[in-house]
Structure 1
Amino acid sequence: MGPLLQQLTRRKPVTTMAHETGADTGHGQLARSIGLFQLSMIGIGATIGTGIFFVLSQAVPVAGPAVIWSFVIAGVVAGLTAVCYAELASAVPVSGSSYSYAYATMGELVAMGVAACLLLEYGVSSAAVAVGWSEYLNQLLDNVFGVRIPEALSKSPEAGGWVNLSAVVLVLLCAVLLVRGTSESARVNAVMVVTKVGVLVMFVVLGVLGWDSDNLTPFAPFGLAGVTSAAGIIFFSYIGLDAVSTAGEEVRNPRRTMPLAILIALVAVTTVYLAVAVVAVAAQPAERFEDQEAGLATILQDVVGATWPGSVLAAGAVISIFSVTLVTMYGQTRILFAMGRDGMLPPMFAKVHPRTLTPVANTIVVAVVVGLLAGLLPINFLAEMTSIGTLVAFLVVSIGVIVLRRTAPDLPRGFRVPGYPVTPILSILGCLWIITSLRGVTIVAFVVWVAVAMAFYFAYGIRHSRLGRTAPTAEGAGADPDGTGPR
């Protein structure tokens, strides 16, 4: 194996990761204070609100009422991948999500590619969620005060406005909170989850009063192609499930707790999504979903004949989506921090403020990029870009399960994928199937983004990698014994 190939495929030993973070010793840099309930709430809370409140307006015009099957397909693929995440989370119980998993199983080059996917996933989803927040904020202001933010300041240029100012403001507010070091406690997060689920249950209970079977025909006007295309858009709504794996260094008994939390979050989220989708398409003709702002609130208002249910749901969505934006921006800043700690990014990304102990530079960079995306791009393009980044990251996790089973068969695992190796193979095929259904422009934009990340890696990361300075071989041989790297 040539020196360059050795560099590209060098893997960070799981034992080194565990020692760095205290995963095995229990004496990591972060306090292990999160239990199963709190971690499950993080998964549910980070997922619900990223899409279900507004994704139907993008997916129903593509699939018709058969969008129900699109949710099923996206949920099945997410489920297959979730069990793969569960195994890797129990085997490699550290922060960094699929970036860390790829580094441990497939090497540095693949890890850099996965990092690009994660940054795309969290960054673009933050922007997409902010755009959705803007729609529900307008709905709430209209219902309660009879005023609306002018279209010029609430829509992207492509949608007929100048800039989505309210979305930008949300991003800035989240950035201020992150810089100040403010974080939601597990109790507050649980309250937020109850709020999210509560308003969606209210939608199902009241929305079913408007059930009209005629709205379900024709059921699949655009055929299987429409159903799979919509599944690619809807997959955006499942991105929060991997948020559980970013908390690996703060979880008690992570080898058991993390896989259980992932599975609990998957079941809860899929159940809520399917109930909302079925009621929504039965309560309103498919053609009315197209470009419908704050769609769920509008449906409730039409069904009940009053504005109060829509106002309650819009208020719940505003609160819910605000918290999700904060979490996704937080996740992105921490991924940048992990990469900076590994030497894959400049040292500034690994620095924290001495008083607030937050990565201020990371937060500023994330806020600027997310703010520009949220202010200038339409939500459908942002949702698709998020989906492809998520799908590729999920794809790598599924491959990682197979690789780690072969390279480290005796590694302790708190959870094992059922039906191995069929399950991870089905997960890989499912991800590829949805990726091929996305628009060509989305795939091209993704390839360009990854190419830029690879160019940066060859220009900077390959020379500054801490693993490269301590473990020059693909297997990590020669790593410093305490796993902390050079001082």
Structure 2
Amino acid sequence: MTHALKPTLGTLHLWGIAVGLVISGEYFGWSYGWGTAGTLGFLVTTLFIAVMYTCFIFSFTELTTAIPHAGGPFAYSRRAFGDTGGLIAGMATLIEFVFAPPAIAMAIGAYLNVQYPTLSPKYAAIGAYFVFMTLNILGVKLAAMFELVVTVLAVIELLVFMGVVAPGFSLAHFTAHGWAGSDSFSGTAMAGIFAAIPFAIWFFLAIEGAAMAAEEAKNSTRTIPRAYITGIMTLVVLAIGVMLMAGSAGDWRVLSGINDPLPQAMRMIVGEHSSWMHMLVWIGLFGLIASFHGIILGYSRQLFALARAGYLPQGLAKLSRFQTPYRAILAGGVVGIIAIFGDGINLQGMSLTAAMITMAVFGAIVMYIMSMLSLFRLRRTAPDLPRSFRAPGYPIVPAVALICAIICLAAMLWFNPMIATLFLLFMGVGYLYFLTTKNRRERQATPTTAQEGEA
């Protein structure tokens, strides 16, 4: 049985999804990188990652417009490298999008706890899952419109944050102990720069998820490039601005291991009882909600695409009467809620939130590598593939993205062996399912399903 998603999204919707998927990374998560590399070291890491993402998005857009498919990277790698390539990219993307939401949900709980100290952050996080899974099930256009509204509010709030703390800007605060806890660059500082890579990636993680809405985009050859390019420009400016302003507000070390660094940074400038402080907490929730809601949309489309192609149980590809993959939405939510109940566990000396961020980043980096390899391969093997947008500066720009991603993966394997082992375990389970269901897939294959990765 063939399942199809309906094209209803325009450029603004896609920009809202692309930026909204990521924007929680400006509100929390990145400050863990300060504890690893110091402010100056993490600034170096962030600039390196910004270059990688800019090159990646300009290259990735070529694939998204040429192959507008709900599976995104899964479809590109399947077209380039066959079923096994599709599996690697698809499973990596799924890990990225399933492990990012519980980290964001716990940050939502932490922000609410600032206002309501008696409210359990854990149960607030679980409540967020139920609310936004329901919204996603009710229809993609409603979900995308909501995403656009909360994303715009979240961007405005970040600009307000920077404006409010700007009068207290102190370069001396930002540079104090700026190199991995010291005042000078050293070998330890260099190690910190590489160890902080996952938290710099968190600034931009999941922007590629808008590709999973490409099958639901109107005139995807025009709307997707506009959304991606304006999206990455928006995020780079916000990431650098937020980090500089927060780090200059006071002793940045107080902010380096918490889930609500922006309210605490503002508290240093305006005091605990300022109306600005309460506004940031409430409107700041929009940033977290935008990413949380958008990534639920992303993981559901990835589960849907993998199930539709037979890589996962095909029941996950069933659509609701609203034409949304409701079983995929619920399945990803179950995994996220289980992860939230594990809050308090430390992995490799880091909090569960930091560990889930790192796990999500492992999935992202593997997917980035597979996507850039797919771009190079398809340029050779499918020269006639319609390409309404071609990567500028080819082959240099995609090569820069690929080399940067490989460096990131090597550094993460070195500094995070336990989480790397868990990541490989998840990938291995997916591969075993792939092998055991191969014969069934081949028996059930139809011309339509066989070409889904090539559409």
Q: What TM-score results when the alignment is normalised by the length of structure 1?
A: 0.83
Q: Secondary structure at the match of 2:206?
A: helix
CA distance in 1, matches of 2:393, 2:329: 41
1:335 corresponds to which of 291, 302, 305? 302
Compared CA separation, residues 379 and 90, structure 1 to 2 (3 A): same
RMSD over aligned CA atoms reads 2.3
Identity among equivalent positions (%) equals 22
Q: Deviations over 1:159-192 (max 9, x none)?
A: xxxxx22212211222233344475355443321
Q: For the Cα contact (< 8 Å) 2:161–2:280, is it kept in 1? A: yes
Compared CA separation, residues 484 and 397, structure 1 to 2 (3 A): closer
Task: Name the counterpart of 2:177.
Answer: 218
1:148 corresponds to which of 110, 118, 136? 118
**What's the CA shift for 1:242?**
0.9
Task: Name the counterpart of 1:469.
Answer: 445
Compared CA separation, residues 465 and 259, structure 1 to 2 (3 A): farther
Compared CA separation, residues 325 and 187, structure 1 to 2 (3 A): closer
Compared CA separation, residues 467 and 267, structure 1 to 2 (3 A): farther
Q: For the Cα contact (< 8 Å) 1:61–1:290, is it kept in 2? A: yes
CA distance in 2, matches of 1:447, 1:58: 24
**What's the CA shift for 1:203?**
1.1
Higher-Rg structure is 1
Compared CA separation, residues 194 and 356, structure 1 to 2 (3 A): closer
Q: Deviations over 1:119-149 (max 9, x none)?
A: 11111001111111111111132xxxxx433
Task: Name the counterpart of 1:194.
Answer: 152
Kindly indicate whether residue 373 of structure 2 is the aligned counterpart of residue 406 of structure 1: no
Compared CA separation, residues 314 and 365, structure 1 to 2 (3 A): same
2:428 corresponds to which of 441, 444, 451? 451
Kindly indicate whether residue 276 of structure 2 is the aligned counterpart of residue 309 of structure 1: yes
CA distance in 1, matches of 2:86, 2:444: 14
**What's the CA shift for 1:218?**
3.3
**What's the CA shift for 1:36?**
2.1
Task: Name the counterpart of 1:108.
Answer: 83
Letter in 2 for 1:175: M
Kindly indicate whether residue 161 of structure 2 is the aligned counterpart of residue 203 of structure 1: yes
Q: Deviations over 1:304-339 (max 9, x none)?
A: 124322211111222332232222122212211112
Q: For the Cα contact (< 8 Å) 1:255–1:415, is it kept in 2? A: yes
**What's the CA shift for 1:239?**
2.1
1:5-404 alignment, distance < 5 Å: 29-49=4-24, 51-66=25-40, 67-141=42-116, 147-149=117-119, 153-154=120-121, 164-181=122-139, 184=142, 186-215=144-173, 216-221=175-180, 222-305=188-271, 306-353=273-320, 355-377=321-343, 378-404=352-378
Compared CA separation, residues 71 and 148, structure 1 to 2 (3 A): farther
Q: Secondary structure at the match of 2:193?
A: helix
CA distance in 2, matches of 1:253, 1:179: 24
Q: For the Cα contact (< 8 Å) 2:30–2:203, is it kept in 1? A: no
Compared CA separation, residues 307 and 139, structure 1 to 2 (3 A): farther
**What's the CA shift for 1:217?**
2.6
Q: Deviations over 1:72-101 (max 9, x none)?
A: 122111112111211111211222110111
**What's the CA shift for 1:410?**
2.1
Letter in 2 for 1:290: S
Q: Which moved more, 1:382-391 or 1:239-248?
A: 239-248
CA distance in 2, matches of 1:243, 1:220: 33
Q: For the Cα contact (< 8 Å) 2:18–2:231, is it kept in 1? A: yes
